[in-house]
Amino acid sequence: MSIHSTGAHRAGPPVVEVKGLSKEYTTGGETVHALRDVEFAAESGDFVAIHGPSGSGKTTFLNMLGCIDRPTSGDVLVYGEPTARMSEGRLATLRRDKIGLVFQTFNLIPVLSTYENIEYPLLLQGLSRSRRQERVRRLIDAVGLDKEARRRPSKLSGGQRQRVALARALVTETHLVLADEPTGNLDTETSRRVMGIIQSLNADRDVAFVVVTHDPMVGDYAQRTVEISDGTLTDGVRPSPREGQPCG
Amino acid sequence: MWLKLALRNVLRSPRRTILSLVIIALGAGMLFAVNGFVRYMNGRLTLATIAQYGHLQIADADYWTDAEDRDETLVDPARVGQIAASLQAMPNVVGFAPQLALTCQIQKGSETGLLFAVGVEPRRRIIRSFQIIRGEDLQPDGTGTIVIGRLLADNLGVGPGDYVTLLIATVGGSFNTGRLRIVGVFSAFDEVFENQFAYVPIGTAQMLLNTAGVDKIVVRLSDDSQTDVAAAALRESLDASGTGLELRTWEELGTEHQQTKEMFNFIFSAVSLGIFVLVFFSILEVLTMSFMERTREVGTIRAIGTKRKHISRLFLTEGILLGLIGGFLGIFVGVGLGALVNGSGIAWTPPGAVNPVPILVQLAPFGAVVPLLIAMLSTLVSAVFPALHASRLQVVEALRSA
Amino acid sequence: MLKIALRNIFRNWRRSILSFTLIGLGGAILFLVNGYIADSLTGMEIGLAGSFGHLQIADTGYWDRSEEPAEYLLLPDRLARLEGILGAETDVVTWTRELEFSGLVGRGEKTAMLIGTGIEVGNMTTDPMDPMVSTGLPLQAGETKSILLGRRLAEKLNVEPGDRVNVAGFTVTESLNAMTVGVSGAFKYYSAQWEEQLAFVPLDLAQSLLRTGGVDKVVVRLTGLEAVSPSVASLQAAIDQARLGLWVRPWQEIAPFYTEMTSFYDALDGLSTIGVFALAFFGIMQVLTMSFMERTREVGTIRAVGTKRHQVFRLFMTEGLLLGVLGGVFGVALGFGLGAAVNAAGLGWMYPGAAEPAPVGIQLTLPNAAGPMLVAVLSALFSAIYPALHAARSNVVKALRYV
């Protein structure tokens, strides 16, 4: 396990920052307060685990961070830019370039091979062939899926699929990756392996990982853990260094 | 890239793809076969019309409107000469000949019948809508000869070598008669034709009517498609020459044939509409379900940065590809259906015809265009709503679906 | 089981709507085609039987044109014996005598061919000519020297009611006879070509022109269209027994175009049925395949708790059947609606050779719905077979694992 200080690893604003964030929605006539006035920040290089039981609002929170849903009040700043007023088109571009997403159910495109799945965001960006090739290859190596480059997701194991997802999340060289229950569909052994990869990626690449989970094991890999329950975060902004780990 | 993705998506689920393609191919194929049939029938009709009327007919303006008595509308030799000169000069005129017709009664023994006797130039056969089945055709030097239709010949009980009397009405109720020798009997397509028409040398007709004039000049062109061009040119020169003559094209003359063509075209349009609608709803069904299945996938790629318009573009492309492949396959189906019909040798006797007409389907590449377009359009249009719907999904909702 | 099947069909309302629309449209199309054909044929039948009579009786030599008029004309004594037989026949309502002739009609310099029919004015065997008359009056009883011309014939000759024309024809003794008659009016006919040549005169005039006391045929009206076949048989038998040398012919044989139209319509009907069936068949198979596939896990579950294969098969087949039935009903309803709209629109079309547009109508009767219903149900049923079999045969474990 590598250690990172939680101070300014990079100059500039936090990779993602949340202020006064609230989210309400009405179902069946009742108003649900999914998030209540949440504050949070992560710097590049951070590895944060957001831990909470089901129904605590953690997925909603991640949706806010990932700009795939809009808050009822408050704002989400990505790389310092406020997003609450951005058009859907701009948000899509933001997600494409600046944010990587990893899902519990892997969510790969079934008709594309490993290589092509990872390549997809670069195609959206319109990169040249040689540059795409270079980056995809690098990531395939980084997640160790050389031999599976041409296989389609249906022919991969759960762990392999998640690795593809990770590679896809990182291919645009973002500094922020959000993962929703990445180990949810994996057995313990595979979970550990995947978490290990995440950890090394986090270390090598100056990328902030925010992982939402109810699996306590994940917390072992993260630098800090934030608890969420009933729409409120504890230790959101002020990170406390992990016990027993020296800073710096 | 969208093309690759779209293509792979179309081929995603083999069973479903095959069924969809079968539906589109069937629809396109049926259209192709019907189209081929209609074009065949229309082609026959065109041939029949032109065989009956020639390409163009030139006569006095009042002849066409039946406004004046016969005397006033005859075209005298001088005018005939003028027209002949203009026609000779035209490059696409293959041949032309004068005609003079008379309504009369034909009599043999106590049997009589109505007759429309057409005086023609035996050397210059412009109208070719019959075949001589007994005896021979009119000869250039055959004054006083006649060829009659088979049904009429059978009714009167006459054949080549027999004599018949023609009775022509003139002013004031008196009649001119002429005794003619039958040299041949012809068979034709139409019952009425075989029963009521006959041909005599034009000189004989002129003698019977006591005139040197003719009713009209019938013109044959080198190509059917030249008709409008030639007609326009001729109309100009006719108007300029001030001869009081007017031209009619075969399309204007063959009204019954035109009506039949219109009927066939209508049938084709109706069938096209029916098939379009059925294919549309089938594919709409398929695409809606198929797109719905991919809701989570759509949510994912939206989440990682794909824009709404990309989504709709992707799905529409899938629709187009489906239609294109299905339509293309449909051509084969159509050719197969057409070959089946052609090989079966079924025939149909249209109302008023003497012999059955074989039912054939014209299998030409040109005929594939419209059916293909209709199949593709139907598929494309049915993809629109599902595509728009998919692009408008809320990302979060989409991610949540199974 | 029926209840479950029914609920399953409506599970996904959007898909149900689409499925029903597909079958419904197919059914509606067939209903409209059938309805149009039925309407057209019924119209034709009534019209033709009305103008040509249910039966016509004439000398065999007249029908096959093998004899001269002198031989085939029905002279008074033969006619009387025929009329005796007709009077004795129960289904015969009334009859009339006709005499045809061909000749020329002219006015001033203009002459034209003429096919004339001498009729008994005021006889009710055939439909009265009043609706067909376009100018002037139909023939009047008591006015022997008058003629009713086809409209185009009248136009060709440029005559108006009241004008006088010459009519010429050959008598039975091969001499020529001509008469001057007054034009009573002009009539419209269904065929443009015949409208240019036909005319009607009083029977007495025709007989005078041809110098005969005979007629060439007797036209008979029966109680109804159903009486035609039996009457033909019994009348023919009586006639043969009396050695009259006459031939009884039903209207279908006499009316022009009837057989050609029916065979055309049969082809149209057959082809559209096949076409719709094929498209509906594959379309529904499509839907059922997908729908059943979605429920793979559910099938696995109910098999796991003890449902047998053949029960699963029956369940899915029932759904297919219901889909066909409900869709068919929807289709017929849709067909009724569209048909009513078409009827209300009052469309007409000029069929080839028509003198006037013929009305386009859809016959809206329940028997016409039988065919479309059958096609809807059968196509749904047959297309359900393969998907149902496949679902029934699936492996339980695999099915449970299906996501």
Given a cut of 70, whether residue A238 has pLDDT beyond it is: no
Facing residue for C102 by CB, picked from B27, B113, B169: B113
Q: Which of B243, B278, B299 corresponds to the end of one domain?
A: B243
- Search chain B and give the residue with CA nearest C21: B281
pLDDT at A246: 47
Least confident range from A51-60, B345-354, C318-327, C365-374: namely: B345-354
Asked whether residue A239 is domain-assigned, the answer is no
**B342 contacts B360 by C-beta, under 8 angstroms:** yes
Q: Do B305 and A96 touch (CB under 8 A)?
A: yes
**Residues on chain B touching C275 (C-beta within 8 angstroms):** 30, 271, 274-275
Residue in B297, B300, B306 nearest the CB of A92 = B306
Angle at CA C244, nearest 5°, toward C238 and C247?
75
Q: What is the pTM of this model?
A: 0.79
Examine residue B57 and state whether it is found in any structural domain, yes or no: no
Tokens 């704002």 belong to A75
Distance CA C355, CA B226 (A): 31
Asked if B82 and B211 sit in the same domain, the reply is yes
| Token pair 């059947």: residue | C321
H-assigned helices in B182-294: 191-196, 202-209, 227-241, 250-253, 255-293
pLDDT for residue A240: 42
Same domain, B228 and B262: no
Confidence of residue A156 (pLDDT cuts 50, 70, 90): very high
**Residue B352's pLDDT is what?**
63
Please say whether the beta carbons of B295 and B401 come within 8 A. yes
Residue where one domain finishes, among candidates B185, B208, B243? B243
Looking at the structure, tell me whether residues B284 and B170 fall in a common domain.
no
- Which 51-110 residues of chain B touch chain C by CB within 8 A? 66, 69-71, 103-105, 107, 109-110
Q: How far is B401 from chain A (nearest CA, A)?
A: 11
What is the secondary structure of B318-383 as a DSSP string?
HHHHHHHHHHHHHHHHHHHHHHHHHHHT-EE--TTBSS-EE------GGGGHHHHHHHHHHHHHHH
pLDDT of the residue at B354? 64
Residue B252 lies in a domain: no
Question: At C1, is the pLDDT very low, low, confident or very high (cuts 50, 70, 90)?
Answer: low
- A178 lies in some domain: no
Q: Closest-CA residue in chain B for A60?
A: B396
Q: Would you say residue A154 lies in a domain?
A: yes
Residue B318 belongs to a domain: yes
Q: Does B297 touch chain A (CB under 8 A)?
A: yes
pLDDT of residue B402: 62
Q: Is residue A66 part of a domain?
A: no
Residue A247: predicted pLDDT: 45
- SS3 call for B174: coil
Q: Are residues B268 and B210 in the same domain?
A: no
Residue C329: per-residue pLDDT: 92
Token digits for A241? 């260094």
Tell me whether residue A224 is in a domain. Answer: no
Q: Are residues B22 and B156 in the same domain?
A: no
Q: Which residues are CB-neighbours of B22 under 8 A, at least 6 positions away?
A: C282
Number of domains in chain A: 1
Tokens of C294: 């979605």
| Residue A202 in domain | no
Q: Tell me what the mean pLDDT of segment C288-313 comes to.
A: 80
Instruction: Classify residue B151: in a domain, yes or no.
Output: yes
User: Domain residues for B122?
Assistant: 62-243
Q: What is the mean pLDDT of residues C181-208?
A: 88
B71 lies in a domain? yes
**Residue finishing a domain among B220, B243, B266:** B243
Residues, chain C: 403
For B11, name the nearest residue in chain A, comparing CA atoms only. Answer: A111
Whether residue B365 is found in the same domain as residue B396: yes
Give me the pLDDT at residue A7, please. Answer: 45
How many domains does one find in chain B? 2
B250 close to B219: Cβ distance less than 8 angstroms = no
**Which stretches of chain B score pLDDT less than 50?**
171-172
- Check whether residue B189 and residue B285 sit in a common domain: no
B248 inside domain: no
Same domain, B228 and B276: no
Burial of B92 (0-12, 13-18, 19+ CB in 10 A): middle
Q: Which residue has the higher pLDDT, A114 or A55?
A: A114
Name which of B103, B107, B256 is nearest C170 (Cβ-Cβ).
B107
* Residue A6: pLDDT band with limits 50, 70, 90: very low
Contact C188, C151 (CB under 8 A): yes
User: What integer pLDDT is reported at residue A165 of this predicted model?
Assistant: 93
Q: What is the ipTM of this complex?
A: 0.81
Are C55 and C250 in contact by the 8 Å Cβ rule? The answer is yes
Chain A nearest-CA distance from B6, in A, is 10
pLDDT for B70: 66
* Amino acid identity at A79: Y
pLDDT given at position C262: 84
Residue B143 lies inside a defined structural domain of this protein: yes
Nearest CA in chain B to C165: B173
Taking the Cβ of residue B307 and every Cβ of chain A, the question of whether any pair is shorter than 8 Å is answered with yes
Q: Give the pLDDT of residue B169.
A: 65
Pair (B71, B130) in one structural domain: yes
Same domain flag for B71 and B43: no
Phi and psi angles of residue A229, each rounded to the nearest 5 degrees, phi first: -150, 135
Residue percentage of chain A with pLDDT more than 70: 90
Are B44 and C289 in contact by the 8 Å Cβ rule? The answer is: no
Same domain, B278 and B387: yes
Q: Would residue A245 count as lying in a domain?
A: no
Here the contacts of C352-355 (C-beta below 8 Å, separation 24 or greater) are C352/B256, C352/B257, C352/B259, C352/B260, C352/B263, C353/B256, C353/B259, C353/B351, C353/B352, C353/C191, C353/C192, C353/C193, C354/B259, C354/C190, C354/C191, C354/C192, C355/C151, C355/C152, C355/C188, C355/C189, C355/C190, C355/C191, C355/C192, C355/C195
HSE at residue C326, side-chain half, CA atoms within 13 A, is 17
Taking alpha carbons only, the member of C54, C69, C59 closest to residue C206 is C69
Residue A69 near residue A52, CB atoms below 8 Å: no
One domain, residues B124 and B219: yes
Q: Which amino acid, C248?
A: V
| Record: contact A121-B305, CB cut-off 8 A | yes
Q: Which of A89, A101, A124 sits opposite B303 (nearest CB)?
A: A101
pLDDT tens digits along C12-54: 777 778 888 888 988 999 999 999 888 888 888 887 888 888 9
Q: Which residue of B has its CA nearest to C286?
A: B19
Domain of residue A163, residue span: 104-173
Instruction: List CB contacts of A71: < 8 A, sequence separation 6 or more.
Output: A21, A22, A23, A35, A64, A84
Q: Which two tokens stand for residue B366?
A: 């040109």
- Res B71: pLDDT: 67
